[in-house]
Amino acid sequence: MVFLFSILLIIFIFLEGTVTTLPLVLIYLLCLTIAKRDAVVFPVAFGAGLFLDLLAARTLGLSSIFFILFVFLILLYQRKYEINSYPFVLFASFTGSCIYSVFFGHGGWFLQSLINSFIALVIFGALRYYKKNFQTRI
Amino acid sequence: MQRKASFFPVFLIFIVLAILIFFFAQKGLFGGLTGFLEQATVPLQKMTFGIFHTQGDQTSEEKLREENNSLLKELAKQKGLEKENRALHDQFEATNPDPKKLLPATIIGMHDEEIVIDKGTSDGVKAGGVIVYKDNLIGRIVQVSGHLSVVDLVTNKSTSFTAETAKTSALGVIKGQGAGGILFDNAVLSDKLEKDDVVVTKGDIDASGLGFPPGIVVGKIVSVNKKASSLFQTAEIQSLVDFSQLTVVFVLSELK
């Protein structure tokens, strides 16, 4: 599973760094945070952000700051509320994508956030299915 | 509370680290390191871009459009020559600018209104440089790193520069509209704007030799919006280049 997650992260970073403005890495981190629910997501967010900045020719560290804060907010939220649910994934991916698109100046933020939320739901659904059928900790 | 204690120190460490990297990167202290890493990632980026960016076959309609565009450019060039001829009659000595230096660059990233090219400071590229393709204006470099540059397309909302029409010499300001739109704004009502007239850059080069040189084709007028009650008239411009089909562009270096 770790291998699959790593491959998916690399694909998302390259896609976002070259051909799309969809915040794919952001939804990846959202799903990873829901699956793991611990501090191991912070180094992943940090590394993914640096790599993405490098590919997109942005100032190094900018995406890392955004991703780390995003993961932090989700982890804070999960102390009081259930995050392992479709409504939360929909809300978090849409809000996160909106802020991300506006922050990095991408056009069509509403449509992009909608598409991104749909992708997040699909990934989250796949994760849930895997967990339910194979009974392993992701 | 137990969970907060477990992730909060890790969060602090990584957020401080990220802020420090951002701060030092802004000061340009990671130039060498990012340059080295970019060199390693550029081939992979080219490959990714190549996979997801396929050029479609040209239909006969597209070929005709291209031919029509080149004829329009020829006409604009002829008008320019006529003007130049007139100007030469008026003065004996004309100062020729240094020949334009073109540096070919491959597009390795394309987002809605910006592209990333594989040339950076190590190739002599500077922020503010102009990107062209076959005498057509593509955009302006807004950010440069060791081996990469980010280019705002002419359709980007941040783009704004002076331009003139080739046939009627009407002056105006080109403004990117986003989503592929370009507007020729601030043209006075007394000037004549004609459909299909080619719009070229007026010339806006700064002291360091960077900026838009004159005579670069921005696009052609597709519609004119003229109201007697308005102070200015506007026109919608369409670039003669399909940006999504581009794979190679040219960096116009300093024009000193």
What CATH number is given to the structural domain containing B177?
Answer: 2.40.10.340
What's the domain range around B109?
53-256
| Residue type, position B199, single letter | V
- Residues B134, B14, single domain; the answer is no
A92-117 mean pLDDT: 88
Residue B46, in any domain of the structure: no
Confidence at B58, pLDDT banded by 50, 70, 90 = low
Percentage of chain B with pLDDT > 70? 85
Q: Looking at residue B191, what is its pLDDT? A: 81
Residue B47, in any domain of the structure: no
- Residues B180, B256, single domain; the answer is yes
- Residues B7, B104, single domain; the answer is no
Q: Which DSSP category does B97 fall into?
A: P
Q: How is residue B163 written in tokens? A: 């331009």
B22, B143, B145 ranked by CB distance to A61: nearest: B22
Q: Looking at residue B53, what is its pLDDT? A: 66
Rounded Cα distance between B133 and B153, Å, is: 12
Instruction: Determine the Cα angle at B8 with ends B2 and B11, to 5°.
Output: 150
pLDDT above 70: residue B15: yes
- Residues in chain A with CB shorter than 8 Å from the CB of B13 are 42
- Residues B8, B92, single domain; the answer is no
CB contact burial A94-104 (16+ within 10 A = b; e otherwise): bebbbbbbeeb
B206-223 mean pLDDT: 81
- Total number of residues shown for chain B: 256
Name which of A31-40, A42-51, A108-117, B64-73 the model is least confident about: B64-73
Q: Looking at residue B115, what is its pLDDT? A: 86
ipTM value of the model?
A: 0.88
Q: Which residue has the tokens 């008008």?
A: B79
Q: What is the pTM of this model?
A: 0.69
Rounded Cα distance between B142 and B114, Å, is: 10
pLDDT above 70: residue B2: no
Report the 10 Å Cβ neighbour count for B4. 11
- Residues in chain A with CB shorter than 8 Å from the CB of B111 are 20-21, 106
Residue B147, in any domain of the structure: yes
Confidence at B29, pLDDT banded by 50, 70, 90 = confident
User: Are A17 and B149 within 8 A, CB to CB?
Assistant: no
- Residues in chain B with CB shorter than 8 Å from the CB of A43 are 10, 14
- Residues B60, B11, single domain; the answer is no
Does the beta carbon of A121 lie under 8 angstroms from any beta carbon of chain B?
Answer: no
- Residues in chain B with CB shorter than 8 Å from the CB of A18 are 45, 48-49, 52, 108-110, 116
The shortest C-alpha distance from B109 to chain A (Å) reads 4
Q: Which DSSP category does B243 fall into?
A: G
Rounded Cα distance between A18 and A30, Å, is: 21
To probe the interface with A, which of B10, B38, B108, B121 has the most A CB atoms within 10 Å? B10
B67-82 mean pLDDT: 75
- Residues B26, B150, single domain; the answer is no
The shortest C-alpha distance from B183 to chain A (Å) reads 17
- Residues B194, B215, single domain; the answer is yes
Instruction: Determine the Cα angle at A6 with ends A118 and B49, to 5°.
Output: 70
What average pLDDT does chain B have? Answer: 77
Residue B96, in any domain of the structure: yes
A20, A38, A65 ranked by CB distance to B22: nearest: A65
Confidence at B1, pLDDT banded by 50, 70, 90 = very low
Residue B102, in any domain of the structure: yes
Q: Looking at residue B83, what is its pLDDT? A: 61
Helix, strand, coil fractions of chain B, as percent rounded to 5: 35, 30, 35
Does the beta carbon of B5 lie under 8 angstroms from any beta carbon of chain A?
Answer: no
Residue B133, in any domain of the structure: yes
- Residues B137, B21, single domain; the answer is no
pLDDT above 80: residue B84: no
pLDDT above 70: residue A135: no
B11, B111, B157 ranked by CB distance to A72: nearest: B11
Residue B48, in any domain of the structure: no
A53-77 mean pLDDT: 90
Q: Looking at residue B20, what is its pLDDT? A: 93
B168-192 mean pLDDT: 84
B86-131 pLDDT per residue, tens: 644 543 343 333 445 777 888 888 777 888 888 888 788 888 888 8
Higher pLDDT, A51 or B3: A51
A21, A54, A60 ranked by CB distance to B111: nearest: A21
Q: How is residue A38 written in tokens? A: 């611990």
Q: Looking at residue B86, what is its pLDDT? A: 62
How many Cα atoms are found within 13 Å in the side-chain-facing hemisphere of B14?
A: 28
Name which of A66-70, B80-84, B161-165, B219-223 the model is least confident about: B80-84
- Residues B76, B198, single domain; the answer is yes
- Residues B34, B61, single domain; the answer is no
- Residues B10, B94, single domain; the answer is no
Does the beta carbon of A43 lie under 8 angstroms from any beta carbon of chain B?
Answer: yes
- Residues B144, B35, single domain; the answer is no
The three-class DSSP label of residue A83 is: coil
Q: How is residue A88 written in tokens? A: 């939360």
Radius of gyration of chain B (CA): 22
Q: Looking at residue B161, what is its pLDDT? A: 85
Number of domains in chain B: 2
